[in-house]
Amino acid sequence: MFTLQVEQGLELALVEANFAACYLDIVSKQREYLSQWLSWPIHAENEAFFLNFIKRSLHDYADGKSLVCAMFYQGKLVGNISFNSIDKDLAKVEIGYWLSQDYQGRGLVTKSVSRMIELAFHDYDVQKIQISAATDNQPSRNVCSRLGFTLEGVLTRAENVNGRILDHAVYGLSREAWKTRLGLKQ
C-alpha cells in the first residue's frame, strides 16, 4: 500500500476498498456539514458509492491522471486529500481535500497539503500546484494563504453545490515560489 508519512500520527494512504465503510460513516454523520462545499455527499448513501469512487480513483491513479489518498490521524480515517488532476503537459496538479468536522482546527489539512506539495514538486516534477476553494470557505482559503499560495483570481458561478451557486477563489503555487519560501536554491 502506498503511504506518505506527514508526521507522527498523521499519514496519507492511497485509497483502498476497505476504506469505503469509514468514508460512509463520516458522511452519514456529517452529510449536512460536508454538503456546504461538496456536491457528492447527498448522493453517498451506501458503501457501493464509495467502492465505485475508490475503483475509479485507483484506475485514474494507474493511468497517471490523479492520486487520491485517505487522511489517517492516530490510525483513524478522518478525511481525504488528492491530486484531483495531474496534467503532465502543463506540469501542473490540482489539490483537493475534505476533513471530518470533528478533526478540524488541528492543522491536519495544512500539514497534509504541505506534504502533497513536496510530493508534487519532488516526485511528480510539476511546475505549478493549484487549489480552488469556494470564496466563502475561509478555512480552506486560509490553508492556501498559510502555505504561500497566491490568489490568482476568482471564477464566478464556478460550481453548483446542491442548489447553491458558488464562486471559486483560485490559488497557485509555482515551484520557484515554493523554493524561495523554503530558502532553497533555484
What's the number of CA atoms in the CB half-sphere (13 Å) around residue 149?
Answer: 27
In total, the chain counts a number of residues equal to 186
Q: What is the pLDDT of residue 185?
A: 58
pTM of the model: 0.93
What string of pLDDT tens digits covers the 186 residues of the chain?
689 999 999 999 999 999 999 999 999 999 999 999 999 999 999 999 999 999 999 999 999 999 999 999 999 999 999 999 999 999 999 999 999 999 999 999 999 999 999 999 999 999 999 999 999 999 999 999 999 999 999 999 999 998 999 999 999 999 999 988 877 655
What pLDDT sits at residue 183? 75
Cβ proximity of 141 and 133 under 8 Å: yes
Residue 80's closest CA among 40, 118, 45, 43? Answer: 40
Q: What is the reported pLDDT for 2?
A: 82
For residue 181, what pLDDT is reported?
83
Return the pLDDT at 111: 98
Question: Which residue segment(s) compose the domain that 82 sits in?
Answer: 3-182
pLDDT of residue 182: 79
| CATH code, domain with 90 | 3.40.630.30
How many domains, the chain? 1
Reduced to 3 states (helix: H, G, I; strand: E, B; else coil), residue 172 is strand
